A = this chain, B = another copy of it.
Amino acid sequence: MHSTQPALPFSKALRRRWARSGSLLCVGLDPDLRRMPAHLRERSDAIFTFCKAIVDATHDLACAFKPQIAYFASARAEEQLEELARYIKATYPEVILVLDAKRGDIGPTAEHYAREAFERYQADAVTLSPYLGSDSIEPFLSYRGKGALILCRTSNPGGSDVQFLDCGGTPVFEVVAQMVAQRWNALGQCGLVVGATFPKELGRVRQIVGDMPLLVPGIGTQGGDIEATVLGGKTEEGGMMINSSRAILYAGDGEDFAHAARQVALETRDAINRYR
């Protein structure tokens, strides 16, 4: 067990956030220098400045922020991600911070990834791959109160290659959902990642896992249907962090980009709430 226990465990903090914000929207932070407004691009802290502006413009509309670490890593911007995490935790402590990293490795290595996610970047939850099984997840669960969001049915076309393999009548992603619900979630720290681009499978996963939280990417640029997503995955308290990244971040490319982002975030939150 680790000493960085949050005041409120991930699952409780998320339920409280759903209730207080009235929003299931997760704003994905995928800062791509090539798509940022021109007036920011040349700054040495362009990535932090861009993300901070998005966070300030959307915090009241979001249940969660989800920085995607690949965008920081490819730009040598780990320190800007640290700064962003510090800013979010200090300024908007009730908004859930999900680090999207999709890590998965053997136990001793997973301990280091857990330290990266929960200590270095102060995440409340992190996305993980199930391919290496239980002992690759345990080091994350040993941070009591932190969340582990495990890939189940992803939003991309190739997701079917492995996730849809037929195991005696049950596809791999459903076996993963069962495994997480019945075994890995003993302390209530788990959630699943299920793409909005497959609403039927989303409904199936919801049946399997009860009210476990789902992180649902794939609306917005990826084209997932909001109505089908909400109807398939909602619970009484909320049930989902429905993520949109690019459609919000790059809604505008002028000096008013944050205002444009807020408008799209507002419309998306409201479109989601229409079907709750």
| Chain A interface residues (CB < 8 Å from chain B) | 30, 32, 68, 70-71, 73-74, 76, 78, 102-113, 115-116, 119-120, 129-137, 151, 154-163, 165-168, 172, 175-176, 179, 217, 246
Contacts and interface: CB of A to CB of B under 8 A. Distances in A.
Q: Is the interface of A mostly helix, strand, loop or mixed?
A: helix
Contacts of A176: 162
B120 A132 contact: no
Contact of A102 (B70, B103, B134): B103
Q: How many copies does the complex hold?
A: 2
A73 B30 contact: no
A156 B106 contact: yes
A147 B157 CA distance: 23
B116 A74 contact: yes
Contacts of A104: 102, 104, 129, 131
14 contacts: A70-B110, A71-B112, A74-B113, A74-B119, A76-B120, A108-B246, A129-B129, A130-B131, A133-B156, A133-B162, A161-B179, A162-B175, A162-B176, A165-B175
